[in-house]
């Protein structure tokens, strides 16, 4: 479990996060949603240590991360896997070399052990036949799967995904969502996903927090989100593309969405 308490962050005197509290449970997909500029990515970066909050606490399974000693922080970071918005693959490396990169940087495995782990992770995401391809030779959805394989290659306890469906078509997005959910349950990781994709919310949102103007104004599950009485959340849900996504989802999944 990851717990955040009273997380505050300001940039140049402008408050971005205004006291966020949340508990992200192990073995489930936890989503952070909200409009642009609401602090979603800033919160994620505060949790993983890329940004230091001005106030508050972050605990990884009861371990204080923000005030931890250097060696404790290093140990926790070793347990973190990260899927970046643009996949962040190295163009000059093959798919297998990209997946192996964290092992080269942070493990003491032999080359044979590394390749065994790489092949296992590529097989888990359905890309065992693409190991020797370059990133330019695989599709956008396959790049995301390479990113997932790289994120889990160190067998992390915590998985962070920043807009994993950005730039993907709806069908491929569903594949990525389901893969993240399956891996989360299979390895009992604590997974946090930042997204604005309503389809992702309705597919895998076991715990969802909604940020608005730096505050957490709603939390719950995919099954009760559409019945919210929070006006800011309803406006977010029923705006532009999200409304069309919601209607398309509702038409095919009415049993999950009571009127």
Tell me the domains of the chain and their CATH numbers: 2-79+161-256 (3.40.50.300), 93-155 (no CATH)
Residue-by-residue DSSP string for 206-258: SEEEEEETTEEEEEE-TTTGGG---HHHHHHHTSHHHHHHHHHHHHH-GGGS-
Q: Is the pLDDT of residue 245 over 60?
A: no
pTM of the full structure? 0.88
Summarize pLDDT for 171-182 with one digit per residue, the tens: 999 999 999 999
Summarize pLDDT for 186-215 with one digit per residue, the tens: 999 999 999 988 888 888 999 999 999 999
- 85 Cβ partners below 8 Å, 6+ apart? 162, 163, 164, 166
- 91 Cβ partners below 8 Å, 6+ apart? 134, 135, 136
Cβ neighbour number for residue 188 with a 10 Å cutoff? 10
| Helix axis angle, 140-152 to 170-187, nearest 10° | 10
Summarize pLDDT for 138-164 with one digit per residue, the tens: 999 999 999 999 999 999 999 999 999
Q: Return the H-helix or E-strand segment holding 193.
A: strand 190-194
- DSSP E strands in 25-127: the ranges are 29-33, 55-60, 63-64, 80-83
| Mean pLDDT, residues 111-122 taken together | 96
Q: What is the sign, positive or negative, of the torsion defined by CA atoms of 80, 83, 85, 91?
A: positive
| Mean pLDDT, residues 100-120 taken together | 94
Summarize pLDDT for 29-42 with one digit per residue, the tens: 999 999 888 899 99
């Amino acid at each position: 479990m990851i717990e955040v308490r009273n997380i505050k962050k300001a940039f140049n005197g402008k408050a971005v996060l205004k006291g966020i509290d949340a508990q992200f449970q192990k073995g489930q997909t936890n989503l952070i949603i909200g409009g642009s500029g609401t602090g979603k990515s800033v919160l994620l970066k505060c949790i993983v240590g890329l940004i230091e909050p001005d106030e508050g606490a972050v605990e990884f399974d009861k371990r204080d991360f923000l005030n931890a000693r250097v060696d404790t922080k290093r140990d926790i970071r070793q347990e973190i896997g990260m899927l970046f918005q643009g996949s962040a693959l190295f163009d000059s490396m093959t798919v297998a070399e990209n997946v192996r990169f964290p092992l080269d940087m942070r493990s003491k495995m032999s080359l044979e052990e590394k390749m065994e782990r790489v092949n296992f992770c590529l097989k888990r995401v359905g890309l065992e036949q693409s190991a020797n391809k370059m990133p330019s030779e695989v599709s956008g959805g396959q790049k995301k799967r390479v990113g997932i394989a790289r994120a889990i290659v160190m067998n992390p306890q915590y998985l962070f995904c920043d807009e994993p469906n950005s730039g993907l078509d709806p069908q491929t997005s569903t594949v990525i969502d389901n893969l993240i959910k399956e891996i989360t349950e299979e390895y009992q990781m604590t997974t946090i996903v930042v997204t604005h994709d309503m389809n992702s919310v309705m597919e895998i949102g076991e715990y969802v927090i909604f940020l608005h103007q730096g505050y957490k104004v709603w939390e719950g599950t995919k099954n009760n989100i559409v019945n919210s009485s929070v006006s800011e959340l309803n406006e977010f849900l029923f705006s532009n593309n999200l409304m069309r996504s919601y209607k398309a989802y509702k038409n095919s999944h009415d049993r999950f969405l009571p009127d």
